[in-house]
A = this chain, B = another copy of it.
Amino acid sequence: MTNSKPTLYTCLSPALLHLYDVRDCVVVVIDVLRATSTMATVLYNGAKEIIPVDSVERCIQLGRELACITAGERDGQVAPGLQYGNSSFEYPREFIAGKTLVLTTTNGTKLLHMALAKGATEIITGAFLNLSAVCDHLVSLKKNVILGCAAWKDKPNIEDTLFAGAVVSRIKEHFSVNCDASHMAECLYGLAKDDMYEFMKRNDASHYHRLTNFGLEKDIRHCLTADQANVLPEYVDGKLVAGPLSPKGGT
């Protein structure tokens, strides 16, 4: 009988993050192609932890200090000086289990650090690969939520908006959603959900073109598939680790 549901907002670009108060929220960092998809896969396949860093230099330095794996991309390709890239397929369990990965990406790790700088205390990462884990966690937590799209160099993109829409459509009954961006994202997801790859292609998604030019169709299709790596990456003390899964809570 009360109207005390927590709020849910979708922030379509890091350049809009200042419009939202991240301090009392759980912030979901979304970079579907491909940072947060890779993060889900790496933790799902048993990595000990991921250290997200915001520069290639810092990635190389930390990799040397900790004697761990360095990975990352700039503009969709493996960054020079790093060992691995930003594809889920580079991190099978037999390779990554038990290991530490230092990762830097164009947009996703940048947004995560922005949210931290603005005072966010609870940050998780979301992608279609761990959609259910994210939704169940948000419903269980009963806190205000900001779905933060990493976008592409601050320009809103289709794939991160679609993921925000997927989350909204699953959990909106549990939240007060006074946010046009969330409603628009949900509408788009409704249009796209039956074949998101085809939707990206038909609508000339800019990142679809960018990655297709690098021969990464298989990567895109994988990143648009739900629950293939159903893990909850939580940012704790500078590292992403697999948090405990919540019971099914979505609608």
Report which A residues bind B (CB closer than 8 A). Answer: 12-13, 15-16, 18-19, 152-158, 161, 177-181, 183-184, 186-188, 191, 203-207
Q: Are B154 and A180 in contact (CB under 8 A)?
A: no
Residues of B within 8 A of A188 (CB): 184, 187-188
A104 to chain B, nearest CB (A): 22
In whole Å, how far is A111's beta carbon from the nearest beta carbon of chain B?
Answer: 15
Q: Which residues of B contact A207 (CB under 8 A)?
A: 180
10 nearest CB pairs, A to B: A183-B203, A157-B180, A158-B180, A156-B181, A180-B206, A19-B154, A15-B16, A187-B191, A19-B155, A183-B204
In the bound complex, CA of A186 to CA of B203 (Å)? 9
Residues of chain B with a CB closer than 8 A to A179's CB: 155, 206
Bound together, the chains give a CA A12 to CA B188 distance in angstroms of 15
CA of A184 to CA of B206 in the docked complex: distance in angstroms?
A: 12
Report how far A203 CA is from B157 CA in the complex, Å. 21
Q: A15-B16, A16-B13 are in contact. Are A184 and B158 (CB under 8 A)?
A: yes
Q: Contacts A154-B19, A178-B204, A178-B206; is A184 near B183 (CB within 8 Å)?
A: no
In Å, the complex CA distance between A153 and B18 comes to 12
Contact B155 A183, beta carbon cutoff 8 Å: no
Besides A13-B13, A15-B16, A180-B203, 7 more A-B contacts (Cβ < 8 Å) are A19-B154, A156-B181, A158-B180, A158-B183, A180-B205, A184-B188, A191-B191
By beta carbon, the residue of chain B nearest A159 is: B180
The 8 Å CB contact of A19, one of B153, B181, B203, is B153
Which of B158, B178, B184, B203 is the one whose CB lies under 8 Å from A156? B184
CA distance A207 to B181 in the complex (A): 12
Docked Cα-Cα span, A218 to B180, in Å, equals 21
CB distance from A209 to the nearest CB of B (A): 8
C-alpha gap A205/B203 in the complex (Å): 24
Chain B residues whose C-beta falls within 8 Å of the C-beta of A156 in the assembled complex: 12, 16, 156, 180-181, 184
